[in-house]
Each structure stands twice: as C-alpha cells, then as structure tokens.
Amino acid sequence: MEAKGHSILSDWLELLGVSHTPEYSDMRFEGMPFKSLFGLQQLLKEYGVESEGFRLKDKRDMLRLDTPFIASTPGGLVIVSRLTEKCEGGETGNGVNGTVEYLTQGVLEQMPVDKFMSVCDGKVFCAYPAPESKEPDYAVHRRNEVMTHLRDIGLLTGVFVLAVYLFISNGIWRHVSTVLVMLLDICGLALTYMLVQKSLKIKNRAADKVCEVLQEGGCDTVLEMKASKFFGIFGWSEVGFSYFSVSLLTLMMFPQWIGYLALCNLLCLPFTFWSIWYQKFRAKVWCTLCVSVQCSLWLLFFCYLGGGWLKEAFPLRIEFFVLGATYITVLLALNKILPHFNQGD
C-alpha cells in the first residue's frame, strides 16, 4: 500500500488533525501483518478514530463526502485531501471543471474531478476522529521526537562550526580556486547523495524535481540498468558519494594534499565521456543527476587547473597512495552499509 518511510497512516492522521508522531505511526504501519483496509481500521482504533469503508454505486456521490478520505485507484490507495467545485446534490453533469487534490506516497498531486472518478473503482474509506483522538503514549513519543530533533540540530551545528574553523585555520579562504573546489565538492556530495537515495528507492522530492529537468523518470531508468554498477557490485552513485566526501574532507583537513586531489580528479574525467556516451547511445535516456555530477567533475578540473594545483601533484609521494586507499576504503564501507538501508526490497 505504501513505500516504507512515509506511510499512508501518518499522512492521513496529519490531514485528520490527530496528534501523532510520524516515526511511531510509520513503525506501527510497517508492523502490520497484512497491509489492508481492515488492518488500517484496527490501527486507527488505537488512536481513538472510528472508520468505515463504502463502495459507491454512483461515483458522483464522492462529492458528498467530507475530506480527507481514502479512495482506491488502479495505482493503489490515495488520500483525497480536497475536492473543489462540488456540485449540489452530488450531481456532476457533463464536463466537471473541478479538481481533486490527493496524496500518493507522500506526494501531493491533482487531477480533474471527472478524470479522477473515471479511474476510481468506487471504494472509499472514511475516518471520524473525536476531539480526544490521539496516538497512544503521545506525550512520551513527542518528547522523544523533540530530543531527536535537538540532537540533529546539535550535530549540524557542530559540523558547521568545525567546517568554519577548518576553512579559516587551514587558509582555504585565501585562494578563489580552493573556495570553488570546496563548494563544488559540497554540490557533488549533495547530487550523489540524492543518487544514492534513488538507488535505495528512498523517496526524495528534491531529487525527483531535479530528475525531471532533462527527462522525467530518466534517473530511475538509468539506475536500474546493469551499467549503473561498477564491476556489477559498486553502484556508480556509491563511487561518486565516496569520491566527493573524501575529497571534501581531505581539502578541509589536509589542504597541502590539494595537488593529489587535482590528479585524482583528472583520472576521473574519462568516466564522464563514457557516462554521457552511454546515456546518449545505449540507454537513450538522460539521468539529470548523473549529468550534473559529470559537469561538477569538469568544473572541479577547471578550478584545479586555474589554481595551478595539478603541478603540485608531482613528484608523487606516499600521501597520494594513502589518499587512493582512503577512497577505496570508504567505497567498500559504503557498499557494505547501504544494503541495510535499501527500502525497495
């Protein structure tokens, strides 16, 4: 019924105005032995919410229902959050100009009323929360949620302060090229992070928006191909994430190694030609995130070249090979860990 990590239960409770915590609600939904409307009805009872299902003989009666309610479509269950242009008595007539807004896998979409009714099978599920309806042990769960949020804020604040300290103390600010390299590494890290999420079937609205720029669904199509894995084991998204993360940390902590970073970047450039060729002539579909990563690699090259950092790589010393071993070690660790987060299984 719903992709892991964003359940239809927590979405519906939010629209119903029932006090709840998404983490607990998602956990309870994922723990359902059978993900059915009956199971959802039993879960709602734990929150003090009564519910019932109907099969509408006349789909136009849907206009009489109070939102939100769940409707059944060929693509699965959706939460109808709003119906505009309701007609009196539920009579639609011909060519209704109203709009249906609905949530599907946490994403808000809309469709003309007449088209929506044509794809629905007439099954609806309604809920009736009471003023006292709320999640069991809501106060405890809410406190834990707040503490988790404060922990995350503390972590981000610590990372930011440490990054600013390294940026200043290691003199990265002194040269335009090193500042640009740092920003491009951060950009590449964000892009490959979204690619990793997509490869794990984790929903990310920002990634979906980016992927639609060149071709809708292109990123998902390319990531499903065998060529998206290096040696059939390592996803190129993992390789990219390892590269940008290690490069960024190395620049921040060991700026004297920037020549070796420039050389590693140069060694990565042949891959960009293969990636573009493959998408153009073999896959015949464009992955916007992948193309953006290739552009980041070339922009990094010009920054290293403009700063004169490539000549700093020679003669090669042991640090270059340590850097290479670090890339490989992080990639191996990432490849070992990521399967535990795969939500597409």
Minimum mean pLDDT among 187-196, 202-211, 241-250: which range?
202-211
Amino acid identity at 171 = G
Measured CA to CA, the distance from residue 309 to residue 301 in angstroms comes to 10
- Output the pLDDT for position 343: 53
Asked if residue 341 has pLDDT above 80, the reply is no
Asked if residue 5 has pLDDT above 70, the reply is no
- Output the pLDDT for position 200: 84
Mean pLDDT in residue range 298-315? 94
Q: Distances in Å between the alpha carbon of 298 and those of 127, 191, 331? A: 54, 15, 21
Measured CA to CA, the distance from residue 272 to residue 291 in angstroms comes to 8
Question: 301 or 63: which carries more pLDDT confidence?
Answer: 301
- Output the pLDDT for position 119: 86
Mean pLDDT in residue range 270-280? 91
- Output the pLDDT for position 114: 85
Question: 34 or 118: which carries more pLDDT confidence?
Answer: 118
Q: Distances in Å between the alpha carbon of 334 and those of 15, 125, 153, 208, 337? A: 37, 42, 24, 23, 5
Measured CA to CA, the distance from residue 188 to residue 191 in angstroms comes to 5
Residue-range domain boundaries for the chain: 8-129, 137-169, 172-341
Mean pLDDT in residue range 35-50? 87
Asked if residue 68 has pLDDT above 60, the reply is yes
- Output the pLDDT for position 64: 84
Asked if residue 81 has pLDDT above 80, the reply is yes
- Output the pLDDT for position 342: 65
**Nearest-5° angle of CA 267, CA 293, CA 274?**
55
Nearest to 245 by CA among 189, 177, 322: 189
CATH fold of 172-341: de novo design (two linked rop proteins) (1.20.1440)
- Output the pLDDT for position 46: 92
Q: What is the residue whose two structure tokens read 């891959």?
A: 271
- Output the pLDDT for position 97: 62
Amino acid identity at 146 = V
Minimum mean pLDDT among 70-74, 86-90, 334-338: which range?
86-90
pLDDT tens per residue across span 165-181: 999 999 999 999 999 99
Question: 94 or 64: which carries more pLDDT confidence?
Answer: 64
3-state secondary structure 212-236: CCCCCCHHHHHHCCHHHEECCCEEH
CATH fold of 8-129: Cathepsin B; Chain A (3.90.70)
Asked if residue 4 has pLDDT above 60, the reply is no
What residues does 19 pair with on adjacent strands? 134
Q: What is the residue whose two structure tokens read 């019932």?
A: 52
Nearest to 194 by CA among 223, 214, 156: 223
Helix (H, G, I), strand (E, B) or coil at 311: helix
- Output the pLDDT for position 77: 87
- Output the pLDDT for position 82: 87
Asked if residue 258 has pLDDT above 70, the reply is yes
Asked if residue 86 has pLDDT above 60, the reply is no
Cβ neighbour number for residue 210 with a 10 Å cutoff: 19
116 — pLDDT class (breaks 50, 70, 90): confident
Asked if residue 96 has pLDDT above 60, the reply is no
Q: What is the residue whose two structure tokens read 């060529």?
A: 227
Helix (H, G, I), strand (E, B) or coil at 80: strand
How many Cα neighbours within 13 Å face the side chain of 25? 24
- Output the pLDDT for position 326: 97
Measured CA to CA, the distance from residue 14 to residue 128 in angstroms comes to 13
- Output the pLDDT for position 269: 95
- Output the pLDDT for position 220: 79
Mean pLDDT in residue range 246-268? 96
Question: 207 or 281: which carries more pLDDT confidence?
Answer: 281
Contacts with 292 (C-beta within 8 Å, 6 or more apart), sequence order: 191, 210
> Following DSSP, what letter does each residue of 94-163 receive, concatenated?
SS---EEEEEETTEEEEEEHHHHHHH--SEEEEEEE-TT-B-TTHHHHHHHHHHHHHHHHHHHHHHHHHH
Asked if residue 85 has pLDDT above 90, the reply is no
Measured CA to CA, the distance from residue 338 to residue 196 in angstroms comes to 9
Mean pLDDT in residue range 199-220? 78
